[in-house]
Each structure stands twice: as C-alpha cells, then as structure tokens.
C-alpha cells in the first residue's frame, strides 16, 4: 500500500525491513482472517445470545470450517452453556454477560460456589491482559528470575499471577517498582481495569462476590476447583516412561516446571 502511495504521486523508493527471499517466498498474499484460525466458542456463545441458532445460515464474511463450528458447539455443551435443545442454558446466559473466553467465564461462575470470586477475578484479569512479565534480554534473564522468585507460588502459575497483582496494588501501581522488578506496568494497569470491569458485571447480574481469602490451603484448593470447572478439557499430566500421547515441554519460567 505504501509503495502504491509513493509511486502514484512522485517517484520514490519502497524500503522493506526484511530480506527479498522472505517477501517472495515466505509471506502469504493476505493474512488469514482470525475467524478461520481461532477457537470459535466465544463467537458462537455471543451468536446464541443474539438468538442466531442456525450457524449454517449465518452470513460470515469469511466462513469458518464446519468442523470448527461443531467443535465450538461441543465445547459449549461440555461447559453446560447449552440446554438439550441447543439453546443457551442459564449458565450460558451468564457466561455471555462476561467479556471472557467461555472456559474462563465458567471458572469465574464456579468461583461463586467455591467462595473464591475475589481471587478468580484477579486470575481472569491477569490472563486476559498481556503477560505481566517484561521481555528480558538473555544477559539479564537470571537477574529477572531472581526478582520474580519471591512471588512464584508452589501451587502454580495462577497463584503466582495473584501474587504479582497483589504486590502491584500494594505498591500503589508504581511504574518505577514495575521497572525495577522487570514487570510490565502497562499490562498490570490493564489487568486492574479488566478486573474492575468484571467486578461491575458480577455485581450488575447479582452474582455473589466473596471477600479476599488468598493464602490459605483451602482457598488455593478452591481456586483450583474453580479453574478446573472451566478448563477440564485442557488438563495435562506428567507421566514417566513412554506413552502414545502428544509430548509437550513445560516452560522453565513456570513455577511448576521443577527446573525441567
């Protein structure tokens, strides 16, 4: 587009900051629309809320694969968001009110039962915002990890995110503190905004919001239960030996990696 604008007015040069081989062989003619690649569960949930029941008749600008639509419907069914007729259930209606991906919305709803809404609000906000951990050069990675270690929680990364958020709030959302600890001030500020928005929605639809209780063993257990209510389809487990399953590696940055 820029090349066209230059040559349509005056002679000029088009400078591309990548090699010619990448331009000629490594790039697609156009970027694939997100609806063709992303999980469609949230989109289908919103369409159901608009009473668009027949996905096959919906006029998408770029029609996703039928398999993707079916997978989205199946995921929503597993999350109890649909009734026997394929319409939104009461849980599905509440999920559609929350500006979150369906598994995270279901986890937040489940937190009402497990008395850990305050903590799940923080987790949902932190997962929705960009990573709170700043990109660090390799030469400074060890120093950054040393500063992050005090907030890392043995119970997992979700608890670590709660620790980071709480520390950020305790330090009055100070940008200098974030910089000194290799944390993204912009991401954490966005998490604060998202959390406030989610809390407003919870209060508007009159869902119970439990008081803060983070730190106790029972509370951590309840947080895990609430998360599993929404993410049970994405459960993985560590197993010794060779199995005919997909092998994945845990990032060394996660608190449960055990250094492996």
Express each pLDDT in 149-171 by its tens digit.
889 898 889 999 999 999 999 99
Give residue 258's pLDDT.
47
Whether residue 60 has pLDDT greater than 70: no
pLDDT, residue 238, reads 65
107 compared with 4, residue with greater pLDDT: 107
Question: Tens digit of pLDDT for each residue in 188-206?
Answer: 999 999 999 999 999 999 9
Mean pLDDT across the stretch 137-146? 85
Alpha-carbon span 17 to 15, nearest angstrom = 7
Check residue 111 and give its pLDDT: 97
Mean pLDDT of the region 128-140: 89
DSSP for 137-176, written as a single string? -GGGHHHHHHHHGGG--TT-HHHHHHHHHHHHHHTTT-HH
Q: Output Rg (C-alpha) for the chain, integer angstroms.
A: 22
CB atoms inside a 10 Å sphere around CB 43: 19
Q: What angle do CA 144, 125, 236 make, to 5 degrees?
A: 75
Average pLDDT, the chain: 84
Predicted confidence (pLDDT) at residue 106 exceeds the cutoff of 70: yes
Q: What is the mean pLDDT of residues 133-152?
A: 87
Per-residue model confidence (pLDDT) at position 32: 54
Q: Which of 171, 180, 185 is nearest to 146 (CA)?
A: 180
pLDDT over 70 percentage in the chain:
79
* Per-residue pLDDT, 86: 87
What percent of the chain has a predicted confidence (pLDDT) above 90? 51
pLDDT (tens digit per residue) in 11-40: 788 888 888 888 777 777 666 555 445 678
Distance, CA of 35 to CA of 257 (rounded, Å): 33
Please tell me the predicted confidence (pLDDT) of residue 61: 60
Long-range contacts of 170-179 (CB under 8 A, 24+ apart): 178/134
What is the set of domains in the chain, with CATH numbers? 37-97 (1.10.10.2130), 100-236 (no CATH)
């Amino acid at each position: 587009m820029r090349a066209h604008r230059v040559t349509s007015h005056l002679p000029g040069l088009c400078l591309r900051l990548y090699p010619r081989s990448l331009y000629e062989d490594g790039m697609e003619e156009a970027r694939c629309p997100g609806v063709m690649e992303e999980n469609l569960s949230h989109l289908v949930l919103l369409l159901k809320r608009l009473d668009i029941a027949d996905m096959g008749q919906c006029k998408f600008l770029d029609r996703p694969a039928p398999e993707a639509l079916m997978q989205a419907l199946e995921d929503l069914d597993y999350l109890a968001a649909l009734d026997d007729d394929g319409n939104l259930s009461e849980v599905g209606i509440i999920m559609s009110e929350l500006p979150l991906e369906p598994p995270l919305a279901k986890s937040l709803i489940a937190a009402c039962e497990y008395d850990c809404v305050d903590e799940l609000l923080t987790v949902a906000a932190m997962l929705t915002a960009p990573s709170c951990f700043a990109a660090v050069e390799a030469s400074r990675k060890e120093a950054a990890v040393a500063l992050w270690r005090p907030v890392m929680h043995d119970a997992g990364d979700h608890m670590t995110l709660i620790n980071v958020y709480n520390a950020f709030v305790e330090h009055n959302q100070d940008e200098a503190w974030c910089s000194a600890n290799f944390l993204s001030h912009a991401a954490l500020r966005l998490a604060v905004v998202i959390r406030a928005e989610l809390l407003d929605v919870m209060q508007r639809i009159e869902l119970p919001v439990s008081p803060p209780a983070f730190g106790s063993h029972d509370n951590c257990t309840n947080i895990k239960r609430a998360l599993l209510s929404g993410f049970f389809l994405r459960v993985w487990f560590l197993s010794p030996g060779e199995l005919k399953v997909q092998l994945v590696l845990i990032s060394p940055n996660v608190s449960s990696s055990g250094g492996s």
